[in-house]
Structure formats: C-alpha cells, structure tokens
Chains A and B, each alone.
Chain A
Amino acid sequence: DQQVKQNSPSLSVQEGRISILNCDYTNSMFDYFLWYKKYPAEGPTFLISISSIKDKNEDGRFTVFLNKSAKHLSLHIVPSQPGDSAVYFCAASFPSPILTGGGNKLTFGTGTQLKVEL
C-alpha cells in the first residue's frame, strides 16, 4: 500500500521555466512533508519542508504548496536550472514522533526524475 505517491516518473522542462513536481498521499494522519533531491549513486539531500498547519513554504527558487483537503502537495522550482536535474522524492511523517515510536521516520514516494534542458 503506497501511502505517498508520485505519479509522474519523469518530467522534462526547459531552463528558465517553472518545474512543478506533484505528490499525493492517502493517510490523513501525515502532518509534515518534505522534499528531497537525489543524484545517482548519492544520498538524498533535503530541499524544503512544510507543516500541515501551513499551505505554502518558500525558500529561494523552491516553493512547496500543500492542499490538505486534496491530500496533495507540489514543489515548484522557478527558474529551473540544469543543475536541478535529479530525482525528487516527496516524503511524509506522522505527528508526535515519541508517541508513534517512529522518530522522524519518513514514508517516501517513488520519485520523479526531473530533467532541465538547455
């Protein structure tokens, strides 16, 4: 049962344009969401996060939007650069890490391969 879904395995965007990566989740108990970027044969690096009490969080070229009613979040990258070409993972976690015993245990989506073309 995939609780976090990234339905687009790949996305191609021209340099300078906007990249929009989408993520859907099924478990309404998730209350914290993160985006990671991953290059081949390397570990993921954290990009940006958002708490469920917000609907938008912005950090430079990266903005994450959260629509709780639709159980959907998206990552916007503006403007897209060739160095942004990577796999992007959406992840989610539950509240009260101590109560659930999970620390910051993250549930990941399957990833979207972004290619930014010149």
Chain B
Amino acid sequence: DGGITQSPKYLFRKEGQNVTLSCEQNLNHDAMYWYRQDPGQGLRLIYYSQIVNDFQKGDIAEGYSVSREKKESFPLTVTSAQKNPTAFYLCASSIVGQRNEAFFGQGTRLTVV
C-alpha cells in the first residue's frame, strides 16, 4: 500500500546530541514537509522540499537540517542547536502544482533526556 513511513515512532536523545528522523514515501509525490506539533500550538512548518536536491526553510527551521537526495526520502536532523527539541514530529507529502491535501506519516515522538 502507498503511504508515508516515519521511523522510529519514539526516540530519546541526550542533550547535546544530534538525532535524525526518517521519512519515506512511496506515493510518488514531489513535495515533502516536516512539521512539529507542540501542545496548544498546532502544527508548525520546519522545512519543505518541492524537488530532489532542493529544500526551503519553513517557519521554525533554526536548529534543524534536512536533505533530499532521493524523491522518496526526506530525513530531518535535530541538532544540538535546537533549544527545545522535545516534540511530536510529523512528515507529510503532496503533489506539487495541484490543490490537494498533504498526506501525513504517523509521527515520531522525540524526547530529550
């Protein structure tokens, strides 16, 4: 079945460590996105990519980095520069150039210990 897979579902990180969250899609979508959800703040856009080897900062990109080497994959690295990394991270994908919905993965809960 087509869809978006995020892994792992739960992730623990020590302060000062970088950690990479995986996102893979087999929907043949060109665009991929990373959102962060915090209680009471909805979903905020971290980074997005419309095409391989290109990506743009979203509203809260500081402390994060991404890569888009393959159409199917859009990993997110949470660096030690991110001051409040504990959150629920959601990856999404969509078709570019059409007005349609974005499809979301199941999310990764990152906790800094």
Contacts and interface: CB of A to CB of B under 8 A. Distances in A.
Contact of B41 (A93, A101, A110): A110
B54 to A, nearest CB: 10
Interface in B70-113: 88, 90, 92, 94-107, 109
Contacts of A89: 42-43
- What bracket does the count of chain B residues touching chain A fall in? 35 or more
A5 B101 CA distance: 19
B95 A42 contact: no
Given A44-B104, A105-B48, A97 B43 contact: no
B42 A109 contact: yes
Contacts of B33: 103, 105-106
A37 B79 CA distance: 30
B79 to A, nearest CB: 23
Contact of A106 (B50, B95, B97, B102): B102
B94 A103 contact: yes
Given A46-B103, A110-B41, A98 B90 contact: no
